[in-house]
Amino acid sequence: MIEILKPDFEFEDERGKLTQLVREGFTQFNIIFSRTGTFRGNHFHKFNREAFFVICGKFELLAQKDGEEEKFCFSDGDMFLIPPFVNHSFCYHTDTLLASMYDVGVELPNGEKDIFVPEDK
């Protein structure tokens, strides 16, 4: 339901470390900070693929689509991609810092946002 990714390039020496997440394919980049015990998301995108890189922290991701659901635990250095129409929710076990990247961008040309909440059944 989601795709596990790896950064495009990493380099480390005595001075420190450089991690190149992507070279192309994304138009919007966000940094998200979430506090321990918070719940975020519970939405999906119709037009965007959204990739995440965990800078630091730990959380559980619940991905849902077409009546199926999968749970994942992610922490420092993990990277993954959520395709369109996959509802995603985050439960943060520790203070967490994420990099988030959209291939199209949340703000659409018509002024609407590509963020949709699933309907209750």
pLDDT confidence of residue 100: 97
* Mean pLDDT across the chain: 95
Sequence spans of domains, the chain:
1-10+21-60+69-88
pLDDT confidence of residue 120: 59
For residue 48, the SS3 value is: coil
Q: Which residue has the tokens 């420092």?
A: 76
pTM: 0.92
Instruction: Tell which residue, 26, 78, 76, has the closest CA to residue 50.
Output: 26
User: How crowded is the C-beta side of 121, counted as CA atoms within 13 Å?
Assistant: 3
The low-confidence residues of the chain, meaning pLDDT below 50, are: 121
pLDDT confidence of residue 119: 83
Q: Would you tell me how many other CB atoms lie within 10 Å of the CB of residue 26?
A: 18
Amino acid identity at 30:
N
The number of residues in the chain equals 121
Q: What is the pLDDT of residues 73-97, one digit of tens each?
A: 999 999 999 999 999 999 999 999 9
